Amino acid sequence: MSMNDLIIISVDDHAVEPADAFINHYPADKKDEAPRIVSADGKDVWQWNGKRYPTIGLNAVVGRPRSEYGMEPTQFSQLREGCYEPKARVDDMNANGVLASLNFPTMPSFAGGVFVAAAKDSPAEALRAVQAWNDWHVQEWCASAPGRFIPMCLVPSWDMDATLAEMKRMSDLGVHAVSFSDNPSNIGLPSIHNEYWEPFWKACVDYKMVINCHIGTGARAMHPSPESPISAWITAMPISIANSAADWTFASFWQRYPELRMALSEGGIGWVPYFLERADFTYEHHNEWTFADIGPGNRPSDVFKRHIISCFIDDQFGVKNLDYMNTDMVAYECDYPHSDTVWPNVPEYLWASVNGLDRNVIDKITHLNVMREYSFDAFALNGGRENCTVGHLRELGKDVDVSPRHNLGGLKTDSMDAIGKARRPITSGDIERMFAAA
């Protein structure tokens, strides 16, 4: 097997919604209420429900020189077209050797937290926004290139009846993935241990929908201090989902729904072996007084390995320790267009990690596990396995311009100046002030 024989499916990428994404899918008499892009102080911002949301791209810096990374951009003109235009995204996927991609939202936040917050005062308007995003994502973004995008939906999680109705509607459109907060109690909803979610778990099983919990959707990586180097926060950010992973691992609902699956999106895998060891130690050492309810004959590691998908970008330590995990529940992620992505060199990075593994294991973690768990027949959708390899895709994308594109302007601190002014280490305070200024 060579690098060009790899078949790569990513379960964590991001789409920046184009300016007309919501308007196109609002009822005719409500289009003036849809989220829309407006210009404010030279920035493209979303306006909706009486509020403005400051960025369109978060850190959608794909294609820039790394020396010009930052937490903006704030204008569509600063984005690579593949961030918001699906045909351009497919071109970038071809150049990157990536066959298929699951994309989280941007404007609504990764699990629709913007809509959850708005629903406290405007539930009907929040529901319209959820439905419009789903229709844009499934009927425009994903439908533009069948077989290249794995459709995923948001749900109006503040209203269980509406959630179940929307899941049924999306299931009828072939959706087998739902974005969900890793800790809903942190965003004003019942905890995952509350009976409120019982119909949701059942619907996920009935419709065979994988629950996708992206880092930062409930629990968040904390900045140690305003003076702390931002590198400390970036380092710990993926591992921040470990608290939520423990919460899900010790939940009792897995016993009632043995076919239920969830994914820890953008969490990495290198920490998982120790996490499982610690969870088992905790159960064996403390359960005579804690009475954790994980089912007879189970260890916490059994629950995790059976139900929870983990994924990685560039994690050679994790790949070397797959024996301590379940290779049927590990997947790859590209994280396009965020700053952690290794586009357009995913095959090179991935091959450096997996070269030397058994071919069956490589195939599992690069594509087969995703195809099975997400009910996504990539081979049939793309006309056969031979059309799915890195070598074939890169031949399709050989004319895509992947040369670095310099930032065309945007929010900068003096330490991020691309034109040669004095530089100093970036701190958490710098980033927090950047967001405040936006």
Q: How far is CA 101 from CA 147, 304, 335, 336, 345, in A?
A: 9, 24, 9, 9, 16
The predicted structure's pLDDT at residue 57? 85
The predicted structure's pLDDT at residue 418? 38
Select from 96, 143, 149 the least CA-distant residue to 389.
96
- Look up tokens 């379940």; give the residue: 326
Question: What is the per-residue burial (b if ≥16 Cβ within 10 Å, else e) of 257-288?
Answer: eeebbbbbbbbbbbbbbebbeebeeebeeeee
Q: Are 14 and 335 in contact (CB under 8 A)?
A: yes
Determine the Cα–Cα distance for residues 352 and 41; give it in Å rounded to an integer.
Answer: 45
Residue type (1 letter), 130: V
Select from 397, 399, 385 the least CA-distant residue to 5.
385
Q: Are 153 and 178 in contact (CB under 8 A)?
A: yes
Select from 99, 97, 149 the least CA-distant residue to 400.
97
Residue type (1 letter), 1: M
The predicted structure's pLDDT at residue 55? 76
The predicted structure's pLDDT at residue 422? 45
Question: In the chain, what are the helix, strand and coil shares in percent, each to the nearest 5?
Answer: 45, 10, 40
The predicted structure's pLDDT at residue 383? 98
- Look up tokens 């820890």; give the residue: 264
pTM for this one? 0.95
Which CATH number is correct for 3-437, 3.40.50.1260, 3.30.2350.10, 3.40.50.2000, 3.20.20.140? 3.20.20.140
Q: Where are the domains of the chain?
A: 3-437
Q: Are 331 and 263 in contact (CB under 8 A)?
A: yes
- Residuewise pLDDT in 10s, the chain (438 residues): 999 999 999 999 999 999 999 999 999 999 999 999 999 888 999 999 999 987 788 789 999 999 888 777 889 999 999 999 999 999 999 999 999 999 999 999 999 999 999 999 999 999 999 999 999 999 999 999 999 999 999 999 999 999 999 999 999 999 999 999 999 999 999 999 999 999 999 999 999 999 999 999 998 889 999 999 999 999 999 999 999 999 999 999 999 999 999 999 999 999 999 999 999 999 999 999 999 999 999 999 999 999 999 999 999 999 999 999 999 999 999 999 999 999 999 999 999 999 999 999 999 999 999 999 999 999 999 999 999 999 999 999 999 999 998 875 544 444 444 333 446 888 999 888 877 765
Q: Are 13 and 104 in contact (CB under 8 A)?
A: yes
Q: What would the two tokens of residue 410 be?
A: 């945007």
Q: Are 158 and 181 in contact (CB under 8 A)?
A: no
DSSP bridge pairs for 40:
43
The predicted structure's pLDDT at residue 59? 87
Q: Where are the alpha helices (DSSP H) in 291-366?
A: 300-307, 316-320, 346-354, 359-363
